[in-house]
Structures are given as structure tokens and as C-alpha cells.
Structure 1
Amino acid sequence: MTGTGTRPSRAVHEREITTPVALTLPDGRLNPDAVGWTRTPLVRTDGIGRGLLGRGRNKRWEYWAVTTPTHVVALVTSDIDYAGVHGIWLLDRRTGETISHDALALGLPRVALPGTLGEGPVRTRTRQVRIAIDEVDGGTRLRAVGARVRVDVVAHRPPGHESLGVVVPWSDRLFQYTVKDVARPASGTVVVDGVPHAVPTGESWAVLDHGRGRWPYDVAWCWGAGSGRTDGRVIGVQVGGRWTDGTGSTENALVVDGRLTKISEELTWSYDTADWMAPWRVTGETVDLTFEPFHLKESVTDLAVFASVTHQCFGTWHGRVRERSGAWVRVADVVGWAEDVHNRW
């Protein structure tokens, strides 16, 4: 392997949070009581982006990706304090064609993001991209319009469905709250060049990456997610690394039929940076996964103060993960992605 994403795996002790808590103290610093993980979104993040503390370091975003038998579509809307980065990206899994509609708004981003997840609409309106995300009865409605792509999809939330929330502390000034919500059943329509394509119920899945926090300027991460069915059960895979190493927090979990098992390990990522399409490995005491790519999405942005290098592979997850009962759960043909990202922002 030419590149290895993280150091050897090791167990960490993490605290489960079961009651609502504010991410920040009144002075804007990290609330120590918020450090931990949740099964449902319980962390209030209204303090991010307010006041002078951390100015320039505040990052707020919503990223949704929807996988169908024929397409992958991703929506991002964000406010990184001095710019808004927005986009619609689509992959036709049958032909390999991709379409990108991107917008970078410097200065005051034209974006509306709720202070806390689910407590208001998400809106982005630029010449290139329009995005609207709303909580609706039983789920979340995702709408987006670009020159060639239109999206109208509902990410359903079955009763009792659990998602991973984690607060990652670098310091009392720099910290991140992330919600990774995998294996949300999806339905709706994606229109490409005027041709509608169904997002079929039972075969399509939505994943949310919700972020609120204050970040170091230079940071790298790995992230992998997958959703699908194995042995008649709905499987959601959520793994990450590098950015959380040494913080005492991890963003690793398995979701089976909507029930979440927290994986409190810093996992080992192994992949070849000279051949991104080679299989990736994510392993630990309770995780033994292989990711086999079928498409590579590469992007490079360099605007002096803001730079990003992303290698995101889409493909299928295979292997096994130990759930909270102690039993191993088989993972097979679960569609998703694995990525290596380095940001200066």
C-alpha cells in the first residue's frame, strides 16, 4: 500500500449522551458536557457562527448523498464563515457520466442554515445552484435545481431509526459536532437533461453528513459510509478517521434495521494513493471491512486562503462488523463511498 490513512486501531472510552445539551457555553467555548456521542440528535448548536470567538473558524454544512440502482446524487450547502460552498453532483452508474453544478460564494454566503439540526429550513440560492431541504412528516425532503439536474427526493425516517451524533474536541475553542445518518430509505425523482429517473423505494438510500463546529485551519480526514440490505436486514455502515485521532472521540458505527451500535475504536484505514480504485481496507477489533470502488471523484480547489484536495470513491462495502450483542454482522454489496480529504480552510 502506498498510502495509509490512520495509525493502528485502538479502543477509546466514549460517553453516551442521553439528554439535550448545548454545544457551547455562553462565552462561546466548548461545553464539556457536550463531549460524547448520541443515538438521536440531542446537541444544540445555535452558538456556532455567533459572536467574535472563533471568527473565521466556524463551519456549518449539510451534505446529503442518495444512492439508487442507476444513479448517485449528492447535495452540499455550507457556510465556512468567509465563503459558501454549494453543489449538486450526479453520477450515472450505468454509463459513468458525471454532472457537476458548483457555486462558491465569497464574502457573505447566500445560504440559510438552521442553528440546530431540524429546526428550520436549509436554503441555497445562487446562479448555478438552488437547494431546499425541509423536515416533513416522516422524513426530510431534498430539492435541488441546476442547469442539467433536478432533484426531488424524500429521505424517510422510519419509527425508531437511530443516527450517530459525535462531538469531537480538539480544544475548548476548536471542536466539531457531526451527525452521520446512514441507511435512510429514499424515494422520489431525479431529472437529468429533462429525463426523469425514479428513485425506487426499497432500493434507494439517503445519507446525511451534518456539521457544526470550529475547525483547525489545516486538517485531513477519511470518511466512509454505506447503505443497503444484507441477509434481509437493512445495513448502514459509518466509519471515519484521521481528523478524530487522539481526541478521545470517534465517528464509527453500525446501524442494523435502524438500531445503532457505537464502535469506540480508532480504526485502521489502508488504501493505495497511487491507485485510488484499488480496494480499501478499514479494520479494528470489531470491524473487518473491504471497500471496492466502481467510480473515482477527484476535485482540487486552490484559492489561497481556501484549498481542498478530495479523492472520493463510490463502490460497495463487504466484510463484517460486531454489533452490540457481540455477534458479527455480515456486510455484503452495501453501496456507498470512501474518501480521503485534505482541507486548508
Structure 2
Amino acid sequence: MSEWNVNDYEITEPVRLVDARGRLDPASIGWTRHQLHDTDGVGRGWYGWGRNKRWEYWGIVTPTHIFALTIGALDYANVRQVWVLDRANLTTIDAFEISPLSRGVSLTGTHGAGVNTSRGRTIELRFEDSDAGTRLIARTPRVQVDLMAETRAGHEAMGLASPHSRLLVDYTVKDVDRPTRGTITIDGVVHDATGFAVLDHARSRGPYRTDWNWGAAVGEVNGKRIGINLGGGGADGLRNGISHTGVTIEGRVHKIPTVLDWEFDPSNWMMPWRMTTERMDLTFTPFYDRYARTNLLIIRSTTHQCFGTFTGRVQTDEGEWLTIDGLEGWAEDVHNRW
């Protein structure tokens, strides 16, 4: 897979992820600071049917709550979920639905191209992009969310197209440090939702088995706003040698070109984790483990998503080391069959 090593290749002009026949365009392999990949071809037609995986995942952290809003679509099923953690007492609310094929879901072909919606029996989600940011609306019998995940002038987000083969390719956008304002209402009680949001956007064709590690953290360091995206774990990242790790400082992406090494104890998820590479050395201390397991015939998933704080240091493109102390976020270990 050395022909696909794209760590240092930054795409600066618009490109299609797949060509008119639905096959991977080699010119699309690389990373971006802004949305330049046209991914409209993913999920259209029969080429690659059954392997298309499209989703919008928003993780939001506020002083009182952590919550996640998910719209996911495979070719043969789609899912929607609203999950909430009350930080004061560590109680949760989890609303989850699955529907066959594309029933009730509408996803844009390309990131930032409009509105993503999913509507089921008891859950309704709407993510609407604009120049000001993304308005996130969610409704379940117990939870209502209405907030804006803001973008500021000059804001960058790391997009990455990394291949498995000429047919299978992952395209993701990890958009960290989106300030939030709005509300989350739980059982009729309104809570302020000022905090930060992180987007995991995907328009991919992946293998049936997908394993990964991912993490994110946001906060202030030396008076600068910083967002960290931790990727590159799991079998695929290690095999391909492709880094999904980067740091956003005052809205500018500093991509780290080497794969991140993850160390954690799968027998005790609440023990500290370690993430290291040439320009990063972080320790993550969890305070809550969100464990989820799904077994629905061909769709199987096991997830440990831990929330906590990060300490350590990261290095900028210019060589400056920034000390990290108490940045909030999460780290996860995921194994999917879908």
C-alpha cells in the first residue's frame, strides 16, 4: 500500500473522490484544510453497493452535559441516535432507532452542501449548514436540542481521503473546536448548551470489518484556542501508515504526518490511556466509559467511548511545543461489522 501513502500531500484544488464510473479517482487521495472533495458519487448507483458508509456524528461537550447526535446510513440500513450524559450524576439517556435501506434519511452528497436529516418513529434529527455554522436540531420524547455549532472566519477542518483499494476508500472530515450556543431540554428542563462541538463526517466505501481508535479534545492553551483530533489507530491505520491526526490552533490545521500509537488497557477502560507519535505525547484520564454493543445479524458493533481529560504536549508545524493540561474530550475503541 506504499503507493497510497499521502501523509504529506495536501490537496489545494477541487477534486472528485470517485470518477463518473464510480471508481476511486487517484487524484483525490490526500488531505485538505477546506472542503475540496466532491463525494456525490458515493452511495449512487450499483458500483460498490453494500460497502457505502455515510454518516454525520456530532459530539457536544458543555459544563453540565455531554451529548451525541448521529445520522448514519449504510446501503441496507440507516440509524439515528441521541445520547446524553448528565455530568453531575453520570446518568444517561439513549434513544436509538434503525430503519431498512434509506427510509427516513436524507444526507448531502458532499460536506457542507445543505441539510442532513433523519426521521423515525420517535427520533428526529436535522443538521443545517450555513455560513455561520451548523444548526443542530434533535427531538426525542425526552430530549430536545437546538443549538448552533459556529464557524469563525478562517476556520479550517481536516479532510482526508485514504484508500483500502481501487474500490474501497475512506473519506472523512474531522472538524474540531466548533463553539456552541443554544439549549438542550431534558424532561422539560432547559439547560444552556454553551460549549464545543466536534464533527465526524464520512462519505466512504469501507470493508465489512472496520476497527478504529479516535479521540478529540478542545480547550485553551497559552491564550490560544486549540482542538486536537486523534486518529490513525486500529488495524487499517497502522497497515496503511496514513495519519489521521492533527491539531487546530486558532482555527488553522497543523497536520501530524506520522501514525499515532495508542496504549490502553482493554481489561480496565478507566485506566489512563497514552497516545504518542513524533509530534505528540498525550495521557488521557477517563471519568466515564460509554459502552455500547449492537448485534443485529449483519450489523454488529462494540464501542468503548471514554470521556475525560488530556495532559501532555503537542508540536506545531513551526516546531513550537504546546503544553496540554486538562483539555476535555474523549477517546474511543470501536469494532464494527457492517
TM-score range, shorter chain: over 0.9
149 and 266 in structure 1: CA distance in 2 versus 1, 3 angstrom threshold: same
| One-letter amino acid of the counterpart of residue 310, structure 1 | T
> 8 Å contact 1:160–1:258 — kept in the other structure?
yes
Q: Which runs of 4+ in 1 moved over 3 A?
A: none
Shift of 1:208: 0.3
> 8 Å contact 2:74–2:101 — kept in the other structure?
no
| One-letter amino acid of the counterpart of residue 287, structure 2 | F
Report the equivalent of 1:247.
Answer: 240
| One-letter amino acid of the counterpart of residue 161, structure 1 | H
2:221 is the alignment partner of 1:230: yes
Identity of aligned residues (%): 46
Report the equivalent of 1:3.
Answer: none
User: SS at the partner of 2:239?
Assistant: coil
CA RMSD of aligned residues (A): 1.2
Q: Distance in 2 between matches of 1:258 and 1:152?
A: 24
| One-letter amino acid of the counterpart of residue 337, structure 2 | R
Report the equivalent of 2:172.
Answer: 178
125 and 13 in structure 1: CA distance in 2 versus 1, 3 angstrom threshold: closer
Report the equivalent of 2:201.
Answer: 210
Q: Distance in 1 between matches of 2:28 and 2:202?
A: 15
User: SS at the partner of 1:244?
Assistant: helix
The runs of 5 or more residues in structure 2 that have no matched partner are none
| One-letter amino acid of the counterpart of residue 274, structure 2 | R
Shift of 1:117: 0.8
- Answer with 67-76 or 226-235: which moved more: 226-235
Report the equivalent of 1:330.
Answer: 323
Identify which of 87, 94, 115 aligns with 1:93.
87
2:48 is the alignment partner of 1:48: no
Q: Distance in 2 between matches of 1:117 and 1:86?
A: 18
Report the equivalent of 1:38.
Answer: 32
Shift of 1:27: 1.2
134 and 108 in structure 1: CA distance in 2 versus 1, 3 angstrom threshold: closer
Shift of 1:12: 7.2
Report the equivalent of 1:110.
Answer: 104
Q: Deviations over 1:288-344 (max 9, x none)?
A: 011111111001111121100001001111111111000111222111110000000
User: TM-score, normalized by length of structure 1?
Assistant: 0.94
Report the equivalent of 2:266.
Answer: 273
Q: Distance in 2 between matches of 1:248 and 1:288?
A: 18
> 8 Å contact 1:85–1:104 — kept in the other structure?
yes
Q: What is the number of equivalent residue pairs in this alignment? A: 332
140 and 43 in structure 1: CA distance in 2 versus 1, 3 angstrom threshold: same
User: SS at the partner of 1:49?
Assistant: coil
The runs of 5 or more residues in structure 1 that have no matched partner are 1-10
Report the equivalent of 2:13.
Answer: 19
Q: Which has the higher contact order (CA 8 A, sep 6+)?
A: 1
